[in-house]
Amino acid sequence: MVTARRTVVRSTSLMPAVTSLHPGPTRFEGGLTEVGSGIHAWLQPSGLLGESNAGLVIGDGASLLVDTLWNPRLTRRMLAAMAPLIAKAPIETLVNTHSDGDHWWGNQEVAGAEIVATEAAAAVMAEQSPAEMKRFGLLAGALRLAGSMPLPYPRRGDVGAIAAYVGGALEPFAFEEVRLVPPTRPFSGRLELDVGGREIHLIEVGPAHTPGDLIVWVPDSRIAIAADILFINVTPIMWAGPLEGWVAALERLLDLGAERLVPGHGPICGPEEVRRLIDYWRWLDRAAADRLEAGRSPAEAARELVLGDEIAEWGFAEWLGPERALVSVGTIDAHRRGVAKPPGPRELVGAFFRMALLARDFAVRRGSDQRRD
């Protein structure tokens, strides 16, 4: 028996590096970083599913946390890194920017804080359960098994691709410990808070990404914590829409004069990246409308766009997760037909299945896929 000798790597930091949760390269530096005076971002590379960021604004003797993470374990790691900062300025206010679990399912770790969200987000949160995500993960496990069995049924490769995509996406996250702690202070429109003498504005900009999105604006430093209104180097996903609402939210960020922005997913950015995201939405809207009017289904239209040349010409094929256009085009179409509604668990499963196959085909099309069925 060979006993491996443990190598001790000495680091100047006590915290282990925050690397990508999903397989693949870590595309930007993760962990706690100071964005401006007394404003810190917790960044989780590489910004894909559940790899969400958070923000901390420190005032005199009190601080405000913007979002928790997808489960208690990830949230505890973040709070441990923040501990020296919040020792003299405890978190009195927790803001949940929207209803997606990767921005609030760690709330239980922030004891005693007032929890603020929009009324629209709070209404969606009240309907959620981590058990659903767990069931989704179990389904992926069952599919993975089916895909690996040497049965001569057609589309075994499809089943395998779906299982790898869904199972792989949920693998880094454990939901057993999650106990949902909902907002205690819902608001609508706009809310101005004083946190240790510091003025912080919460501005409702949804429905856009989800039904109840908000952005956090810190006027004294011209920094916005924009959450999932911004995906940087990662393809955005529009669950709720309308698209015009999302574009208006992005224009709002530019109008505020934000110089540095913390996205919900991806690295810290400036106004140039906000304009790029507006370009993406305008392109997708126009290109999808052309195809829908020509009689294609939303899924067909999205497939053509993701596998076509235009996406590469615009540079959007470089963003992670291009297959998310499937969901966004579905939302665009639903608004055009006046039948938009938030996806239920059934629609969610269907959307992930279709995204899995499109992600595989995109990888093959771009020649970056080494795996073949």
Residues that bind Zn ion (CB under 5 A): 52, 100, 102, 228, 264
Residue 147 CB, shortest distance to Zn ion, in Å, is 28
Look up tokens 């608001």; give the residue.
187
Residue 276 CB, shortest distance to Zn ion, in Å, is 19
Q: Which is nearer to Zn ion, 47 or 245 (CB)?
A: 47
Residue 354 CB, shortest distance to Zn ion, in Å, is 20
Query: Is residue 53 a contact partner of residue 264, using CB atoms and an 8 Å limit?
Result: yes
Residue 81 CB, shortest distance to Zn ion, in Å, is 19
Taking alpha carbons only, the member of 252, 259, 265, 175 closest to residue 214 is 252
Q: Which is nearer to Zn ion, 102 or 285 (CB)?
A: 102
Question: CA 255: distance to chain centroid?
Answer: 24
Q: Which is nearer to Zn ion, 51 or 109 (CB)?
A: 51
Q: Which is nearer to Zn ion, 62 or 120 (CB)?
A: 120
Q: Which is nearer to Zn ion, 52 or 235 (CB)?
A: 52
Residue 277: CA count within 13 A, CB half-sphere: 32
- Cα separation, 281 vs 267, in Å, equals 20
Taking alpha carbons only, the member of 195, 205, 172 closest to residue 20 is 172
Residue 52 CB, shortest distance to Zn ion, in Å, is 4
Question: CA 186: distance to chain centroid?
Answer: 22
Q: Which is nearer to Zn ion, 159 or 208 (CB)?
A: 208
Residue 43 CB, shortest distance to Zn ion, in Å, is 13
- Cα separation, 204 vs 97, in Å, equals 9
- Cα separation, 37 vs 49, in Å, equals 30
